[in-house]
Amino acid sequence: MRKKEIRSLFRKKREAVSVTDKMKWDDLLLIQFQTIELPFLEYVFSFYPIQEYNEIDTFPITDYLHFKNPNLHICYPRTNLLQGTMEAVVCNADSIFEANEFNIPEPLDNELANPESLDIILVPMLAFDLNGYRVGYGKGYYDKYLKNCRPDALKIGLCYFEPVDSVEDANEFDVPLDICITPHRIYVF
């Protein structure tokens, strides 16, 4: 399947997820995440779930990571819509988020994390394939950003659904994941 078809199909699938299934699947994603053997972490780049898109709730995962390491720096994306770029903003419990032009919550804090300091990047998506290529919303923010991260930084995708066989139009601009977690399985690429 091609990205456009995958995007359309999986947007509909995610919109159809019930509140009950979403809560159950978010719990199962956390349980799966907790089985991954992780190195010592200093910086984690997460994403703020967009409720109107029925996105995965990342907060239980970041809470778990912060519990394991209270000194952990957790970052969230802030986009520059004019330049088509994204940056990782270091946040804390007092951080304030405000919706941008696309109604995506973004931090107002000013401390930025260097992309090379990130140990894990939790990557949002609609779908992924058996080779670790993801299909997002089509703007390319994450692929551009991930190219600036350390090669050994773990790129972990979170998805409610099992993979498609192949993203036929994946190209040199697409950065594959290292791991993708679904409610029922962990895929390592």
pLDDT digits (tens, 9 = 90+) for 9-32: 999 999 999 999 999 999 999 999
5 is in an annotated binding site: yes
141 is in an annotated binding site: yes
Residue 150 has pLDDT above 90, yes or no: yes
Q: Which residues lie closer than 8 Å to 94 by C-beta, 6 or more apart?
A: none
Is 144 labeled as ligand-binding? no
Q: Is 133 annotated as a binding residue?
A: no
Which is higher by pLDDT, 106 or 138?
A: 106
Residue 15 annotated in ligand binding: no
Q: Is 132 annotated as a binding residue?
A: no
Residue 47 DSSP label: -
Domains of the chain: 3-188 (3.40.50.10420)
Q: What is the pTM of this model?
A: 0.94
pLDDT digits (tens, 9 = 90+) for 45-104: 999 999 899 999 999 999 999 999 999 999 999 999 888 899 999 999 999 999 998 888
- Say if residue 48 carries a ligand binding annotation: no
Average pLDDT over residues 107-126: 97
Question: Residue 180: in which H helix or E strand, if any?
Answer: strand 179-181
**According to the annotation, is 84 in a ligand binding site?**
no
Q: Say if residue 7 carries a ligand binding annotation.
A: yes
Query: Is 172 marked as a binding-site residue?
Result: no
- Other CB atoms within a 10 A radius of the CB of residue 134 amount to 26
Report whether 106 belongs to an annotated binding site. no
| % helix, strand, coil for the chain, step of 5 | 25, 25, 50
Q: Is residue 135 annotated as involved in ligand binding?
A: yes
Is 55 one of the annotated binding-site residues? yes
- pLDDT bucket at 1, cuts 50 / 70 / 90: very high
Distance CA 78, CA 53 (A): 18
Average pLDDT over residues 154-181: 97
